[in-house]
Structure 1
Amino acid sequence: MKIGVQKLRSKLDQLYSAYNRKPYVDPDPLLFLYNYPDVRDREIAGIIASSLAYGRVAMIMQAVSAVLDKMGPDLHGFVVNADPENIAGMFQNFKYRFATGDHLSALIMGLQAVIADYGSLGACFTVDQAGGTDLSEGLARIRTRVLREGDAGHLLADPGKASACKRSHLFLRWMVRKDQVDPGGWSTIPASALTCPVDAHMFKIGHMLGFTKRRSADGICAAQITQGFRRINPADPVKYDFCLTRFGIRDGLDMAELKGFLKDDVYDV
């Protein structure tokens, strides 16, 4: 059975109203961004939290907490005043899956260089944006400047490759969108330009909704899923990302329940 855009939007808006609320954030690395009312601190928390956002969510939360706790409440001041030797010593025992203390130290020193050159991560990201909708250039600019200071490994994805860059798009969702869940801060970037962060859950949902038939969650898949949501909500295609991905992450919300709510229809969008 095919049903139209308005019917699907109505269903998704019901899910948004029910689950796009702060009580449903934990466990999610987004939780850490709420501790930083200053955008200069929040963007640093966001890029660190998103860079480690792979693997089991409980382990992600532990890793991000371990890093941010060491950095203290003034993240901007910490990064600006960071000394390479002190940073290396502080994080020498850090290890999270493929990420080592050396990678993390290189990331922090790279962020220091970005801030020295542009004033903030947001300023670096938007310096040549001029209202454009291709956000890959801003991501690449931050990554390129960071890597000049050392080997940050896989912590920052390369938007020039074929991957979905899920963690990068997650970071942008946090910093660009502003609602009950996403704290925002980068107000000059239109939400309409965002790409859906495609993790294992959104990959399944994209197939469920008929937005993609890709066999892997690559960049083409992310673009197809985003386009599907853009037909429903052109101004904010990533609006439903958080509420949909609660299913399969939160206890008591599983994918079978979501599939039942959507009734496994094929949506004519």
Structure 2
Amino acid sequence: MSHNQEYSIKNLEQKLEFLYKKYNCRKYVHPDPLEFLYNYNELQDREIAGIIASSLAYGRVAQILKSVSHVLDIMGKSPAEFVRNASVKSLDEQFKGFKHRFATGAHISAMLMGAKKIIQEYGSLYECFLSCMNKNDNTIIPGLVVFSEKLSACGEPGHLVPLPQKGSACKRMNLFLRWMVRKDEVDPGGWEEISCKKLIIPLDVHMYNISLKLGLTKRKQANMKTALEITSGFTKLVPHDPVKYDFALTRFGIRDDISYENLDELL
């Protein structure tokens, strides 16, 4: 690495660290489906709430929050207990008529029945994901492939459960994993035996455009290859935690009071 490259990386790291310290706090979470996870103290409840909140995290943010709230209200105080007691019939009745853009109640029911089967077999989503991984895996992708298949084993959840082997960037699943694996003022964590350094950046249009600005990719499509390239760029800055800056950077474009112009000024 040349001296100029070292300076460039150090300079970018200092700017991103400034953004992290400024925006990576609870007061900047809303409107973000992550906020629903704070309602649950038990890890098994939080991971079920997380898989719901992340799977519906597409489209207009106001509709995302409305849809997630609707589903979690039906599930009651303990989403994990709700799933353990669920049946195909009860889920079909409770989520009949549900619609979130392309997702229907049938998709939600299929995903939750997949979650129930996982809980019956492994005890929790966490224990399942751990069993899907190998300690020598460089990223969470091998574990994510198996986990997604298990979550889809009881029906057709549609795009709520993306399959990484098909090239999808799996933004929402990587978002879920960020919430569950990382622990700081914003991310609640709990999946302690999975290393943050194996996480992949949750790549959506916002993060893709920001990554282009930062020079972390020149690729034309926001797919898994691009997500891995961007993650590799962040790994040079924070080897142990490449998705550290994801929350702070994605405030630009999500919150009305923080615009892309503000990001240009800071970077």
Q: Which category describes the TM-score, using the shorter chain as reference length?
A: over 0.9
Q: Structure 1 residue 130: deviation in Å?
A: 4.1
Are the counterparts in 1 of residues 175 and 202 from structure 2 also a CA contact under 8 Å? yes
Distance 1:39 1:8 in 2: 35
TM-score, normalised to structure 2's length?
A: 0.95
Q: Match of 1:99, as an amino acid?
A: A
Distance 1:237 1:219 in 2: 15
Match of 2:155 in 1: 150
Deviations 1:95-141 (A, max 9, x none): 11110111111111111001111111011101142423331222222
Match of 2:205 in 1: 200
Question: 1:146-225, aligned counterparts within 5 Å?
Answer: 146-225=151-230
Distance 2:181 2:59 in 1: 24
Deviations 1:9-28 (A, max 9, x none): 11111110100000000000
Match of 2:139 in 1: 134
Distance 2:232 2:151 in 1: 31
Q: Structure 1 residue 162: deviation in Å?
A: 1.2
Distance 2:19 2:172 in 1: 23
Deviations 1:242-264 (A, max 9, x none): 001101111221111101211xx
Note the aligned Cα RMSD (angstroms): 1.3
Q: Structure 1 residue 8: deviation in Å?
A: 1.1
Instruction: Kindly indicate whether structure 1 or structure 2 has the higher relative contact order, using CA contacts under 8 Å at least 6 residues apart.
Output: 1
Moved more, 136-145 or 40-49: 136-145
Where does structure 1 lack aligned partners over 5 or more consecutive residues? 263-269
Kindly indicate which of the two structures has a greater share of residues assigned to helix.
Answer: 2
2:37 counterpart of 1:30: no
Question: Among the aligned pairs, what percent are the same residue?
Answer: 51
Match of 2:250 in 1: 245
Deviations 1:42-89 (A, max 9, x none): 111111111111111111111000000000011111000112111100
Which residue of the other structure, out of 67, 85, 88, is the alignment partner of 2:89?
Answer: 85
Match of 1:258 in 2: 263
Match of 1:45 in 2: 49
Are the counterparts in 2 of residues 114 and 142 from structure 1 also a CA contact under 8 Å? no
Question: 1:61-100, aligned counterparts within 5 Å?
Answer: 61-100=65-104
TM-score, normalised to structure 1's length?
A: 0.94
Q: Match of 1:182, as an amino acid?
A: D
Are the counterparts in 2 of residues 124 and 141 from structure 1 also a CA contact under 8 Å? no
Match of 2:122 in 1: 118
* Aligned residue pair count: 262
SS at match of 2:202: coil
Where does structure 2 lack aligned partners over 5 or more consecutive residues? none
